[in-house]
Structure 1
Amino acid sequence: MDHNGAYHDEDGKRKDMNDNTQRSNTRKNPSRPLMAFTGGGSGGHVFPALGVLDELGSDFSRKYRLIWLGSSGGIEERIVTEQGINFKGLPAGKLRRYLSLRNLFDALKFFSGIVLALLYFLKNRPVLLFSKGGFVSVAPVIAAGLLGIPVISHESDVDPGLATRINRRFTKVQCIPFPESARFYPAGLRVETTGNPVRKDILRGERSQGLKIAGFDGTRPVLLVQGGSLGARQINSFIREHREELLAHMDIIHQTGEKDSQRLSSTEDFQGYFARPFFSREYPHILAAADLVLSRSGAGSLWELGITGKPSFFIPLTEGARGDQMRNARYAEERGVARVFHQKDPGCKGLDELAGALITAAGDAELRKTMALPWSEVVHPHGGRNIAEIVREFLPEEEV
Structure 2
Amino acid sequence: MTKRVLFTGGGSAGHVSVNVALIPRFHENGWSISYIGSHDGIEKEMITKQFSYVPYHGISSGKLRRYFSVKNFTDPFRVLAGVMQAFRIIKKEKPDVIFSKGGFVSVPVLLAAKMAKVPVAIHESDVTPGLANKLAMPFATRIYTTFQETLQHMPSDRSVCAGSIIREDLFKGSRAEGERITSLKPAKPVLLVMGGSLGAQGINTVVRNSLDQLLEHFSIIHLCGKGNKAEIQKEGYIQFEFVTEELPHLLEMTDLVVSRAGSNSIFEFLALKKPMLLIPLSKESSRGDQILNANSFVQQGFALKLEESELTEESFITTVRQLRDQQWTMVEKMENAPPSFTIDQMVNEIALLGK
TM-score w.r.t. length of structure 1: 0.83
Query: Displacement, 1:253?
Result: 1.0
203-212 or 126-135, which deviates more: 203-212
Q: Does the C-alpha gap of structure 1 residues 73 and 107 become closer, same or farther in structure 2, counting only changes over 3 Å?
A: same
2:346 is the alignment partner of 1:357: no
Query: Displacement, 1:343?
Result: 4.1
1:44 corresponds to which residue?
A: 14
Query: Displacement, 1:279?
Result: 2.5
Q: Does the C-alpha gap of structure 1 residues 142 and 208 become closer, same or farther in structure 2, counting only changes over 3 Å?
A: same
Tell me how far apart the structure 2 counterparts of residues 56 and 380 of structure 1 sit (CA, whole Å).
22
Report the AA paired with residue 43 of structure 2: E
Structure 2 residue runs of 5 or longer lacking an equivalent are none
Report the AA paired with residue 42 of structure 1: S
Alpha-carbon contact 1:196-1:384 (below 8 Å) kept: no
Alpha-carbon contact 1:174-1:191 (below 8 Å) kept: yes
Residue among 270, 292, 303 paired with 1:338: 303
1:239 corresponds to which residue?
A: 207
Residue among 75, 82, 96 paired with 1:127: 96
Alpha-carbon contact 1:36-1:130 (below 8 Å) kept: yes
Tell me how far apart the structure 1 counterparts of residues 243 and 187 of structure 2 sit (CA, whole Å).
23
2:260 corresponds to which residue?
A: 296
CA RMSD for the aligned pairs? Answer: 2.0
2:37 corresponds to which residue?
A: 70
2:192 corresponds to which residue?
A: 224
Alpha-carbon contact 1:195-1:382 (below 8 Å) kept: yes
Report the AA paired with residue 328 of structure 1: N
- SS in structure 1 at match of 2:122: strand
Deviation per CA, 1:178-206: give whole Å up to 9, x if none. 2221001123x411211111111111112
Tell me how far apart the structure 2 counterparts of residues 229 and 119 of structure 1 sit (CA, whole Å).
32
Alpha-carbon contact 2:142-2:159 (below 8 Å) kept: yes
351-360 or 220-229, which deviates more: 351-360
Query: Displacement, 1:379?
Result: 5.7
Tell me how far apart the structure 1 counterparts of residues 335 and 143 of structure 2 sit (CA, whole Å).
23
1:172 corresponds to which residue?
A: 141
1:274 corresponds to which residue?
A: 238
- SS in structure 2 at match of 1:374: helix
- SS in structure 2 at match of 1:344: helix
Give the count of matched residue pairs: 352
Tell me how far apart the structure 2 counterparts of residues 80 and 214 of structure 1 sit (CA, whole Å).
27
Query: Displacement, 1:33?
Result: 4.3
Report the AA paired with residue 78 of structure 1: E
Alpha-carbon contact 2:277-2:323 (below 8 Å) kept: no
Alpha-carbon contact 1:48-1:384 (below 8 Å) kept: no
2:292 is the alignment partner of 1:324: no
1:103 corresponds to which residue?
A: 72
Tell me how far apart the structure 2 counterparts of residues 216 and 260 of structure 1 sit (CA, whole Å).
21
Alpha-carbon contact 1:337-1:373 (below 8 Å) kept: no
- SS in structure 2 at match of 1:135: coil
TM-score w.r.t. length of structure 2: 0.93
1:3 corresponds to which residue?
A: none
Q: Does the C-alpha gap of structure 1 residues 278 and 78 become closer, same or farther in structure 2, counting only changes over 3 Å?
A: closer
Tell me how far apart the structure 2 counterparts of residues 208 and 124 of structure 1 sit (CA, whole Å).
44
Structure 1 residue runs of 5 or longer lacking an equivalent are 1-30
Matches within 5 A, 1:79-90: 79-82=46-49, 83-84=51-52, 85-90=54-59
Q: Does the C-alpha gap of structure 1 residues 377 and 385 become closer, same or farther in structure 2, counting only changes over 3 Å?
A: farther
2:328 corresponds to which residue?
A: 369
Residue among 202, 205, 228 paired with 2:170: 202
Tell me how far apart the structure 1 counterparts of residues 209 and 197 of structure 2 sit (CA, whole Å).
21
